[in-house]
Structure 1
Amino acid sequence: MTRSLPLLLCTLLCAALPALAQVKTPATPEKMNALYAQYWEDYLRENPVAATFNGDQRYNNRLGAVSSAEQRAQRRALAEKYLARSAEFDPAPLPSEDRISYDLLRYRLQQVLDGLRFPSDLVPVDQFSGLHLTLAQLGSGSSAQPFQTVQDYDNWLQRAAGYPAAVDAMMADMRTGIAQRVVMPKALISRVLPQLENVATDDLEKSTYMGPVKKFPASFSPADKARLTEAYGKLVREQLTPANRKLLAFMSDTYLPAGRDSAGIGALPGGQEWYAFVARRSTTTELTPAQIHDIGLREVARIRAQFEEAKLRVGFKGTLKQFFEHLNTAPELRFKSREEILAAYEAVRPRVEAKVNQLFAYVPKAPFEIRPVEAFREVSAAPASYQRGSVDGKRPGVFYFNAYKPETRTRFTTNAFFLHEAIPGHHFERSLAQETAGLPAFRRFGSSTAFSEGWGLYSEMLGQEIGMYDDPWQWVGRLTAEVWRGVRLVVDTGIHSKGWTREQAIAYFKDNVPQDEVTAVQEVERYIAVPGQALSYKIGELKLRELRARAEAALGPTFDLRAFHNEVLSHGSVPLDVLESAVNRWIAAQKNG
């Protein structure tokens, strides 16, 4: 029997449809940059607080979605939308830097979808992060939220008004977490309680939220000052304080009793798979927790051998254990006041600035300041950290140092911490990325943790090349900072994949890092609260060292360190395999003149 012509045509056309559907539009930089710009607009609109931190002022009056269900739906929809739209293009024609953008967008969007398989939203609060801390920082008037115009002040009133609903949503998530046995360890819940007590005060003189009305711009009229002072006081008394007290009562009376005694997420339902994912995400590698643990053990052993030499340089007679005990207890190696810590860091600054041009051909335009961590979060905050500034330079980057219990803060680590967090560390890395106009916004403001923290630790090493460790005690501090990051590989994987207890992890930390009990506890509890993040430092630094050694060996006397650093930082914060490919291309280009 013969087929009719219409039926035959239909058969042929239907067979051809899949092939037609696979035809992709050749990508061009212009088309892709337009897509990236659309993606970034959608991202900022759905993440208004992130927009504020990035220096985009359009959404300063919004808090964004408060329920985790809405947040997860938004993240999923955004990732799926731009994975689908980018898949419509064939990236083969793109120049190398534009191909990095294409691959990097898809990589990050796929990570978003992969992360949604795990219930991180059921633990919305810890001692290092959470809206209770972010809102207090923003509302203090000393962070990313601007308070320069009357509209700025009114924007904050609108944004902060959403906090009570957000607190209700967080408590609902934590109740779900209790039901599903996905809860914080009790030790960490206890750390959150004093933070909430601090921000839950209704004493307007002590409230961090009243900071902006204590420093009105001179241009404000008396009427505006009076109105805003009254409105801010009402906001604190009627909304922010009651919300924080409600959260405090819930955390203390309901959540703490339901907290777990185990430390790692490996003990949670599906926790081993969850941790393997965060390890991959944090390191941007396919390394398993077991492999990372072994790398950590090797690094700790290597750096301990260098400590043996360092103790001889400072004239210490005794065993390495006795040397560590001396470093942990000697009062002359510690600060006496907060003011003394600030003065020490301020003294480091001009020394580094005078020599940094030996290492870099380009330096950021953005300024930065040195400040102590705010009182409401210093008990659990890291010893040092960095918050990037705005692109226009109006809001400087900030190098935060922790002055909690200054008598526990070591003098010998100041140079290493400054190099890591300020210059040439995170301030250079993040500011230069923001200032690279040719990169899409999602690359200028995005971050790959292994690259970012790897660069910070690599920057500590660079201090050797500009004389920052000529003082043998500061060299001890450099080794302290490095072994600290090696220990992180061992402890983080030990806690989350090997079932280590909090106490076991603290003991290992104290045995191998010359820091006191306060720091050991803060650090281990940080690793418990933020699984995997601590893996990024040493893994990233090892890759940077490897790539530099490769370039030096390949190029010999023509190797230019300043050009190498420019190449490393010119792509923004990227996964380590992307960086490696870029450096390999750079080496080949240098060889070819």
Structure 2
Amino acid sequence: MRLRPIPSALALALLIATSACQKQETASPAGTPAATQAASAEADAKFADLSKRWLDGWLELQPVSATQTGRHDFDDRVDDLSAAGRQAFVDFSKKMLAEVDAFDAGKLSRENQVDLAILRNQIRYDIWQMETLQSWAWDPQVYNSLAGGALYTLMAREFAPMPQRLKAATARMEKIPTLLAQMRENLDPARVPKIHAETVAKQNAGITSIVDGMILPHAGELSGDDRKRLEAAADALKKAVAENQTWLDKTLVPNARGDFRLGQKLYDEKLAFALNSPLTRQEIRTRAEAAIKQTRAEMYDIARKVLADKADAPKEMPDAPSDEQQQKTIEAALELAYADRPARDKVVELAKASTAQATAFVKEKQLVSVPDAPVQIILMPEFQRGVAVAYCDSPGPLDKGLDTFYAVSPIPDDWSKEQVDSFLREYNTRSIHELSIHEAMPGHYLQLWHSNKYPSTLRAVLGSGSFIEGWAMYGEKVMADAGYMDNDPLMQLIQRKWALRAMANAILDQAIHVDGMSRDDAMKLMTVTTFQQEREAAGKWVRAQLTSAQLPSYFVGYSEHLDLRNEVQKREGDKFNLKAYHDKLLSFGSPPGRFARELMLDEPIQ
């Protein structure tokens, strides 16, 4: 997955105005009446002003997110989730929405028409989340992510000299106790799901680990009153975190009794905002179920070839198998892949080696232009563990030349031998290769590098989750189709197993939040239908309870990417060039798939 910050934004008037002019210049074909061109230029300029004012205001109200995206004007602040702070955010959003709704999109360049549509969706989503979803009242993850992110984003990358970042961290450490107090004030235990309370209770100490591991070791770079202030702020914050831990353990966890399931109305509304796709919940499920059936059939064909000369192969592997015969055959072949797995302390090392191998392959096959920016494979920070096994964390659109992090979660120390074995069966040697393809090359790392080069600041900030996650899954298929480890049928089998996981995600999310799917049925879908190991499935069950409308983004985005490529390839015929197609698609930034299609095919913006 790509690490998605709390909604974040970034505004530079010069950059926005420049990109608006660039778009206008390329949007008017020869022969367009001068008056029409002038009207379009005027409309684009007005939109640049509107975008700037919205971005500036959005940033000031969400300073932690501003740091994440590379805007550092507010590095000494944290978000205000008090009643007054929330109301200020809603008032600002409604004022800006009125301006957006009054805008005449028909006068804008095509690129700005897309950005206007993306902006409208985001503002409406912001208002809906604050007034309707109200996660600030029932989800403690909101506060934990802000508290940990406020410090981690300052210290993880060298965007400024250490003393400057330490002073900002000092100011934020002084303010985080107030944020934790707002958590205790705002959360209603009757609405808080127990799984959310338990997860944050485990993550809470991660805030202290950032202070001890990333801030205090550098305290010597400050002197005098600055150092005294930093040390005092650190002490006060650690006490506040300890106080919060007591409240979490003694009050919130024992009394949490909310329902983690969103229900149909909230889920459908959130899905529409989050994906910004024309696909409905029902259409997503139908597509996913059909894709699972097709993928399992492909896996069966590969498995039969793998097992053809094996003495312990299933006795019956007919051309038209029963469900049971198909299941046994695929499982038997997968066992051969599971046998090749890394030691528990070598997962990160293998992730580094597989990323290098995948990068060399992409270059050799000329699949897409490769980044010249660095990527670091790291252990996942403690405060972010417990939701996903890995993520890609790219620098903000303005933090040029800084590292992208491909973070891998370590195996918990308290896991039993059986749990560790289950995890390493799932994340076997070939699966780590697949993970590196998804998170790094040519997945998130590559795509976000392209996206951050796009001149529209607005689109860079409001990147579509389904475009981003869908690209990473699509990248896995591109590598397989290009022959990555082509002489290794077990790698082909693992690639399809990973595709099955994304298909299952799309079903799992809605089945849990809308249809009331039980843990047993969810585990069956994952461990039987899509061949996931118990540890992976158990972790996904937790993740599906803690999140919503994110798990479908992989398959929905993948479907949109594949549909678009097939359509362009059909139109261009023998002239189609895969690298040129990928480079052009990625040059649009990270718009929702519907807009990427309209830009690629030069169709009207809907």
The TM-score, its normalising length taken from structure 2, stands at 0.81
1:384 maps to which residue? 390
1:92 partner SS: helix
**Cα distance in structure 2, aligned partners of 1:70 and 1:328:** 57
The answer on 1:435 being equivalent to 2:453 is: yes
Change (3 A) 1:538 1:77: same
Partner of 2:304: 312
SS at 2:517's partner residue?
A: coil
Q: What is the Cα deviation at residue 536 of structure 1?
A: 0.9
Q: Determine which of 234, 244, 254 is the counterpart of 2:251.
A: 254
Counterpart in 1 of 2:213? Answer: 211
Matched residues in 2 for 1:193 and 1:520: separation? 22
User: Which deviates more, 284-293 or 58-67?
Assistant: 284-293
Report what 2:558 is aligned to.
Answer: 541
Alignment-derived partner of residue 368 in structure 1:
375
Q: Deviation of residue 276 (structure 1)?
A: 0.8
Q: 1:75 to 1:512 in 2, by over 3 A?
A: farther
State the partner residue of 2:283.
291
- Cα shift readout 1:445-494 (whole Å, capped 9, x = no counterpart): 22211111111111111112443242222222211211001111221111
Letter in 2 for 1:559: F
Q: 1:84 aligns with which of 98, 104, 111?
A: 98
- Give the alignment partner of residue 44 of structure 1, picking from 59, 64, 67: 59
Residue among 46, 62, 65 paired with 1:31: 46
CA contact (8 A) 1:492 1:535 kept: yes
Write the distance in 2 (CA, Å) between the matches of 1:416 and 1:28.
Answer: 46
Q: Does 1:104 align with 2:118?
A: yes
Unpaired segments of 5 or more residues in structure 1? Answer: 1-24, 201-206, 267-271, 588-593
Alignment-derived partner of residue 173 in structure 2: 160
Deviation at 1:344, TM superposition (A): 1.6
- Structure 2 partner of 1:475: 492
Match for residue 493 of structure 1 among 489, 510, 519: 510
TM-aligned CA distance change 1:32 to 1:335, over 3 Å: same
Q: Aligned partners of 1:489, 1:291: CA distance in 2, in Å?
A: 11
Q: 1:359 to 1:125 in 2, by over 3 A?
A: farther
> Partners in 1 of 2:232 and 2:333 — Cα distance?
52
Confirm or deny: 8 A CA contact 1:386 1:398 kept in the other structure: yes
Percent identity between the two aligned chains = 20
Change (3 A) 1:71 1:476: farther
Q: Distance in 2 between matches of 1:313 and 1:70?
A: 65
What is the deviation of 1:392? 4.1
Say yes or no: does 1:452 pair with 2:461: no
Counterpart of 2:408 in structure 1 is: 401
| Counterparts in 2 of 1:258 and 1:504: CA distance versus 1, 3 Å | farther
Residue-pair matches, total: 535
Tell me by how many angstroms 1:134 deviates. 2.5
Distance 1:522 1:329, change over 3 A: farther
* 1:41-440 equivalent positions in 2, closer than 5 A: 41-67=56-82, 69-115=83-129, 116-126=131-141, 130-135=145-150, 137-138=152-153, 141=155, 143-144=156-157, 148-175=161-188, 178=190, 182-184=191-193, 186-197=194-205, 199=207, 207-213=209-215, 216=218, 224=222, 231-238=229-236, 240-260=237-257, 263-266=260-263, 272-315=264-307, 317-318=313-314, 319-322=325-328, 323-324=330-331, 327=334, 332-338=339-345, 340-357=346-363, 358-359=365-366, 362-378=369-385, 380-390=386-396, 391-404=398-411, 407=421, 408-409=423-424, 410=427, 411-437=429-455, 439=456
Given that residues 65 and 71 in structure 1 are in contact (C-alpha distance below 8 angstroms), is that contact kept between their aligned partners in structure 2?
yes
CA distance in 2, matches of 1:500, 1:34: 47
In 2, Cα distance between equivalents of 1:484 and 1:43: 35
| 1:430 Cα offset (Å) | 1.8
Contact 1:297 1:486 in 2 (8 A): yes
**Tell me, what secondary structure is at the counterpart of 2:339?**
helix
Contact 1:433 1:569 in 2 (8 A): yes
Deviations 1:285-308 (A, max 9, x none): 244433333332222222221221
Q: Which has the larger radius of gyration?
A: 1
Native 8 Å contact 2:170 2:234 kept in 1: no
- Ranked by relative contact order (alpha carbons within 8 Å, sequence separation 6 or more), the top structure is 2
**TM-score under structure 1 normalisation?**
0.82
Task: Provide the C-alpha distance between the structure 1 equivalents of 2:384 and 2:594, rounded to a whole number of angstroms.
Answer: 36
Name the Cα RMSD after superposition. Answer: 2.9
Letter matched to residue 248 of structure 1: Q
Unaligned runs of 5+ in 2: 1-38, 315-324, 413-419
SS at match of 1:285: coil
- Choose 523-532 or 426-435, whichever is displaced more: 426-435
Go from structure 1 to structure 2 and tell me whether the alpha carbon gap of 1:136 and 1:516 turns closer, same or farther (over 3 Å shift).
farther
1:86 positional shift: 3.4
